[in-house]
Structure 1
Amino acid sequence: MKEIITLSIGTPKKHSWKNREEISGIGKEKIESAFLTKDGFLGDEVANTDFHGGPDRAVCLYPFEHYGMWENEFKKTFCPPAFGENICAENMLEKDVFIGDIFSLGESAIQITQGRIPCSTISKHNEEDRLLKRIVETCFTGYFFRVLKEGTVTAGSVLNLEERKQEKVSVLQGNFIMFHDRTNRKAIEELLQIDALADVWREKLEKALL
């Protein structure tokens, strides 16, 4: 069982980054309880639906261990949910979980669908221009879940692995294929064999094989 460090939700807000105004949902706030639906937590919304949200990206998790690493590298404090995640948790590193893993979380059940494809908003929100580049280089992106069973989640809920569908492709390996190894046909074909893979990743990887 893995305890949650923070549970967070938020709605899109206007931000001023480098004298430019943008609408983003990255600025989430810690909460004590929320109801999780197939489309995400009630009260949690996204601004750009092309790249965020939807049933395959209903819940975002970022591993707590990365916070210390980024703090050491950038010599500043990062506090959850600095990466716009719904859940920050320990012992849930990308290398240790697999696409398709099913976890119970409070009253709900969730399944890993894909690694996160980060955007420049993460750098802007944390005022570190190099952060996005480093996240992509390391593949320490965090990841998304779909919701298999709706229910209430609290800040005291725990993540418990209920079923592991496959052990060939971890989230970290999937991220590496997506970001750095798009010419590796064998690796892509292996990733595409995973039924739980998010549709948007499936489409991108199928195009890479053409």
Structure 2
Amino acid sequence: MVERKFVTLDRLFIGRAIPYGPNGELSAIHKAPLEGPVTVTSLGLTGDQQGDPRHHGGPDKAIHHYPADHYPHWQQQLPDTHGKRWHCGAFGENISTVGLTESDVCFGDIFALGSVRLQVSQARQPCWKLNHRFHEKDMAQRVQDSGRTGWYYRVLTPGTLQAGDRFKLIDRPHPDWPLTRILHFLFLDPLNTEALRAMHELPRLPASWQKLLEHRLNTGEVESWDRRLRTPTKTV
């Protein structure tokens, strides 16, 4: 058993895919809070949707966790003006907690929560929909640079969970790989060959991350982030 500090699931959120981007691109980033228990399947919380299944959702991005701990930082960095939404759920998260951040969580961690078992599968790679959400043209870049990205879970054991359930860390197979370290080599030191090779060897690394790491190792170049970070131009 791995001992961890006490952390409670404070709130749960789900959203429906609606036209959102400058050209009607779909997104479910608008999340509404849930009351009571919710069923969790291998694809996430029942009733939650994704607007872009190619880049969001699926077994390796079944549930998104964004720490409530980060909201004071964004409030301070970008004082509230028209269009700002500094409240839990604003980053499109499904799970909100206090006391668990990227420095506390490692790749591959397995948590028991309610009757569900979740495994940390990857850190979030922020996209341009955050720019649109917060009316800041570089919000996705800011989130990436800050390391306050949140993370995703895959569902190992389906079941039910609800606000008030306690997180219980039951396994930590990769204690040397906190998400802060993953994010450092993903975005800040992206061509560190030794680190890239070590990351590539991590078991159950999502296929998209394997492809990304192989590209860097084989070419010595970093993939373009423009399409992910820059809001599309409105077409006529």
1:44-63 aligned at under 5 Å gives the runs 44-63=48-67
The aligned residue for residue 118 of structure 2 is 110
How big is each residue's C-alpha offset from its partner over 1:1-38, in whole Å with a ceiling of 9 and x where there is no partner?
31122200111012365xx5332110111002311111
Between structure 1 and structure 2, the one with the greater Rg is 2
1:50-199 aligned at under 5 Å gives the runs 50-76=54-80, 78-199=86-207
**Structure 1: gaps spanning 5 or more residues:** none
Normalised TM-score (structure 1): 0.94
Partners of 1:126 and 1:29 lie apart in 2 by: 17
**Aligned CA-pair RMSD:** 1.4
**Structure 2: gaps spanning 5 or more residues:** 1-5, 219-236
Structure with the higher fraction of residues in strand conformation: 1
The aligned residue for residue 8 of structure 2 is 3
The aligned residue for residue 28 of structure 2 is 25
Q: Retained in 2: the 8 A contact 1:10–1:25?
A: yes
Instruction: State the 4+ residue runs in structure 1 displaced beyond 3 angstroms.
Output: none
The aligned residue for residue 207 of structure 1 is 215
Partners of 1:4 and 1:154 lie apart in 2 by: 7
Q: Retained in 2: the 8 A contact 1:58–1:144?
A: yes
Moved more, 52-61 or 192-201: 192-201
The aligned residue for residue 44 of structure 2 is 40
Q: Which amino acid aligns with 2:87?
A: C
How big is each residue's C-alpha offset from its partner over 1:143-176, in whole Å with a ceiling of 9 and x where there is no partner?
0110000011111222111110011111111112
Partners of 1:197 and 1:68 lie apart in 2 by: 31
Aligned to 1:135, what secondary structure does the other structure show? Answer: helix
Normalised TM-score (structure 2): 0.84
Partners of 1:38 and 1:199 lie apart in 2 by: 17
What is the percentage of aligned positions where both structures have the same residue? Answer: 31
Partners of 1:196 and 1:104 lie apart in 2 by: 19
Q: Which amino acid aligns with 1:95?
A: S
